Amino acid sequence: MEKNQQQDIIKLIDNIKVGNSKISLLENNILLLPINIKPAAITIILQKNPSLELDYQEIIKKCETILSKKLPAKKINIILTAHDKNDRKLKNIDKIILVASGKGGVGKSTITANLAYVAAQSGLRIGIIDADIYGPSIHHLFDIKSDKPSLSDDKKIIPPMKYGIKIMSIGSMVEEGKAIIWRGPMLGKALNNLFYGTDWQELDILFVDMPPGTGDTYITMAKNFPIHSSIIVSTPQKLALIDVERSVDIFTKTNIKITGIIENMAYLTDDNGKTKNYIFGSGNVEQFSKENNIEYLGCLPIEAKLSANSDHGKFSIEDNKTAYQLCKNILNKFNH
């Protein structure tokens, strides 16, 4: 069924008319397969063919028109990935790194915050965007709840800073507790505002704390911004990995490099720290990494201090040597 649908869609959009001539998207390596077909949506990835001068906006429009007409019940997402991502590099931001997981509550925000903290402590210029529109928590983690951003002379938002980290959150732009039901274009606009409407000045790394799941934010991110790479966070349970697999899938389809997976809450140590209890099981994340050819970056235990410090917007290398070392190793992978 799925295979037939692929073929049907390919038939519809291959050989479309661009300018005065017909062009095969498949033969010219513009249409990437497989097409992602979901009951409610179809996501099509196109890439530029460097040896052909084409109007890609026209191609996108044509595909959209044809598909929405033939498949009116489905949302049509068309993503154009750049061949050379450096073409799209932002002038003032060296690397944009996404921290993602399939599931909420696995420690994604905690790990983003710790990575940013360790990077800033070692002298790097760091920013964070909390893109988790459904449960923004970075501003809580850094205890910057009441800091309202101010405006620069050229009307850009001056981001609040903590530990030298510039922090922007969708959470600081909306009233606390309000249910946010933003989709597609609105979400894209909000994210654009966070990226381009913020006075970041120069940054070595901008971390983006992604929402759980594989929804609109992922597609918007891949479409609009030059992403350097992504880090995936998982807990040890097999169930968590089912969701992680979906994140891997969308990163692969949107051509976003995966640096590796961090296993969080991997074990509990007894009081003197000598015995490790793998209460959620062990080995699943490592096995998943091997099977999917993704690097296993290491693990963090369940640590009361990590959680308590996060609750109070407090970070300390002394209190958390395991997290510090893991973050340091990961940052080395980005040559920092």
Q: What share of the chain is helix, strand, coil (3-state, %, to 5)?
A: 35, 25, 40
| Candidate ranges 100-108, 114-122, 145-153, 174-182; the one touching ligand ADP (CB under 6 A) | 100-108
Q: For ligand ADP, which is the closer residue by CB, 32 or 302?
A: 302
Report d(CA 64, CA 311) in Å as an integer: 46
Q: How far is the CB of 133 from ligand ADP (least distance, A)?
A: 13
Contact between 104 and ligand ADP by CB under 6 A: the answer reads yes
**Interface with ligand ADP (CB under 6 A), residue from 77, 230, 247, 310:** 310
Contact range with ligand ADP by CB under 6 A, out of 98-106, 142-150, 160-168, 238-246: 98-106
Contact 79, 216 (CB under 8 A): no
Phi, psi of 34 (to 5 degrees): -80, 160
How are beta strands 165-169 and 161-162 bridged, if at all? antiparallel
> Taking CB under 6 A as the rule, does residue 300 contact ligand ADP?
yes
Least distance (Å) between residue 135 CB and ligand ADP: 6
Report CA-CA distances (Å) from 328 to 121, 265, 271: 10, 18, 26
Task: Collect all residues with Cβ–Cβ distance below 8 Å to 17 and sequence separation of at least 6.
Answer: 23, 62
User: What character string, x for contact with ligand ADP (CB under 6 A) and - otherwise, covers 128-167?
Assistant: ---------x------------------------------
Q: Is 195 left (phi over 0), alpha (psi -120 to 50) or beta?
A: alpha
Pattern of binders to ligand ADP over 105-124, x per CB under 6 A? xxxxxx--------------
- Alpha-carbon gap, residue 328 to 32, rounded angstroms: 36
With CB under 6 A as the contact rule, the residue among 101, 198, 220, 259 that binds ligand ADP is 101
Nearest to 216 by CA among 132, 136, 135: 132
Q: Which is nearer to ligand ADP, 188 or 236 (CB)?
A: 236
Q: Which residue has the tokens 């008319």?
A: 17
**307 near ligand ADP, rule: CB under 6 A:** yes
Q: Which residues, numbered 1-20, are part of the site for ligand ADP (CB under 6 A)?
A: none
What does the block give as tokens for 180? 């946010």
For ligand ADP, which residue of 198, 217, 264, 289 counts as binding (CB under 6 A)?
Answer: 264
Footprint of ligand ADP (CB under 6 A): 101, 104-110, 137, 264-265, 300, 302-303, 306-307, 310
